Chain A
Amino acid sequence: MADRSTKYLHWLANPARFLRAARAVYPWCAGIAVLSLAAGLVLGLYAAPADYQMGDAYRIIFVHVPAAWMALFAYVVMAVASAMALIWKHPLADLIAKGSAPVGAGFAFICLVTGSLWGKPMWGAWWVWDARLTSVLILFFLYLAHIALTNAFDDPKRGAKAGAILALVGVVNLPIIKFSVDWWNTLHQPSSITKLDAPSVDPSMLPALLLMALGFTAFYLGVLILRVRAEILARKIRSLRMMQAGR
């Protein structure tokens, strides 16, 4: 098992091979993202019925919740890639962590903005200092810190490693975000989809939500591939320039 997984890791460690695999995967990501986002928006904004309490205002859930999931997911990807980079010195893991951070920061920002827009009609305030909002805000700050730290060194490899350590330190925040609504009795409603028993969200709203989540995931993967590809090429250019300068 361990043997096979390390072999797989080695297989992807070759940038040229990764670029080839990425070229094959990328159109699928883009296609799935466009199709499921379009279908999810149509289903969510037109087909799903209005909520009996919140009226049409609840429809922002179709952006808010997937964005929140992806903000967490991108951080998990970043943390796992960081651990791989530190443990196995995997050459692509650095790039995946670096590429994940801005996208995750974007998702966290979308989550905060849509949550704020949703909070105004529902709670009567743009911002409430409850546990989940605060912890997502911390996540957003952590993303920004990671981006700043990876770019703070003259040697990009040094920055990547420092960023990896920071990403692993920041992992402590993930369970706090995930369970904040269960641990603290706050204004933010508890999770209604990923419960162990049946989800408490109405079945008529579920397909749209899942489609949006699929679309967001595909979008994230697509953007990640683009960013990693750009980073590989940037490194190639850098080393070519170094060789030229050395001549």
Chain B
Amino acid sequence: MTGFYRIVGHELRLSVRGGIGSLVALIFFVVTVALFPLGVGPELEVLGRIAPGVVWVAALLAAMLSMERLFQTDYEDGTLELLALSPLPLELVVLAKCLAHWLSTALPLIIISPVLSLLVNMSADGLVMLIAAMFLGTPTLSLIGGVGAALTVGARRGGVLLALLVLPLYIPVLIFGVGAVEGAISGYGSTAPLMILGGLFLGALVLTPFAGAAALRLALE
């Protein structure tokens, strides 16, 4: 297990020191959300109604934006082959990479989302639920994105392709993430969407490392 933590620590240090990557994702998140009031118009009622969807879609795109380089740079400089040769199973390498991605990219998004929710006039109930739902939902995004990133290693036009692969699979998280927040705002309750988000996370946690590792082995053949 020390290998696992080493990879996570290594990735985190990389993102802190050379780390324009996760900062870019954060700025992208803020700018995207800020675009909506300009596009839809500044009426607070309208903004309040679309707020959960806006924040979630922006978070989805921001998480995906930083996904592209997850394995590509390691593949190019040979680190990936060393990781594959190490005693740590490749499945755990994928999991460690996804965890590092979540810590360095998704966690800042969650931390800054209260500020953003003010921009789009979200109620306090909605905000609390938004943070809870993002804690449950964004790990799934990192895990699914990890499979996409592993599949597109070495592909032509990897970035656009990654979006095409990953966004359809992100849709359930989006639907139930928004559903949870809207349930809290309208007072209908959000237990069911939260449980489904949890289920999606657990399912992804079990299945995606295998798919990602299979894709990486393929890239190294």
Contacts and interface: CB of A to CB of B under 8 A. Distances in A.
A165 B165 contact: no
Interface residues of B, number: 25
B151 A166 contact: yes
A80 interface: no
Given A148-B161, A149-B151, A152-B155, A165 B218 contact: yes
Contact of B152 (A86, A149, A170): A149
Given A152-B156, A162-B151, A165-B218, A142 B211 contact: no
A146 to B, nearest CB: 9
A153 B152 CA distance: 9
A165 B152 contact: no
Interface in B107-165: 147, 151-152, 154-158, 161, 164-165
Interface in A162-188: 162, 165-166, 168-170, 172, 176
Interface in A121-170: 134, 138, 141-142, 144-145, 148-149, 152-154, 158, 161-162, 165-166, 168-170
B169 interface: yes
Contacts of A138: 168, 171
Interface in B154-186: 154-158, 161, 164-165, 167-169, 171-172, 175
Contact of B165 (A86, A158, A166, A168): A166
Contacts of B167: 141
B218 A144 contact: no
Contacts of B151: 149, 162, 165-166
A169 B168 contact: no
Interface of B is mostly: helix
* Residue of A141, A145, A149 ringed by the most chain B CB atoms within 10 A: A145
A161 B157 CA distance: 18
Contact of B171 (A134, A152, A154): A134
Given A162-B215, A168-B211, A152 B168 contact: no
A153 B161 contact: no
Interface residues of A, number: 22
B155 A86 contact: no
B214 interface: yes
A124 B152 CA distance: 41
Contacts of B164: 141, 144-145, 148-149
Contacts of B154: 153, 158
Contacts of B221: 158
B211 A141 contact: no
Nearest to B171: A138
B157 A152 contact: yes
Interface in B203-220: 203, 207-208, 211, 214-215, 218
Contacts of A148: 161, 164-165
Interface string A84-127: 00100000000000000000000000000000000000000000
* Residue of A142, A153, A161, A162 ringed by the most chain B CB atoms within 10 A: A162
A86 B161 contact: no
B157 A158 contact: no
Contacts of B169: 169-170
A203 B221 CA distance: 56
Nearest to A86: B214
A149 B161 contact: yes
Contacts of B218: 158, 161-162, 165
A176 B199 CA distance: 14
A141 B214 contact: no
A149 B155 CA distance: 8
Nearest to A168: B211
Contact of B168 (A145, A154, A158): A145
8 contacts: A134-B175, A141-B164, A144-B164, A145-B165, A152-B156, A158-B154, A162-B152, A176-B172
Interface of B: 147, 151-152, 154-158, 161, 164-165, 167-169, 171-172, 175, 203, 207-208, 211, 214-215, 218, 221
Given A162-B155, A165-B218, A176-B172, 8 more contacts: A86-B214, A142-B168, A144-B164, A152-B157, A153-B155, A165-B214, A169-B211, A170-B169
A-B complex: 5 closest residue pairs judged by Cβ atoms? A141-B168, A152-B155, A145-B164, A145-B165, A138-B168
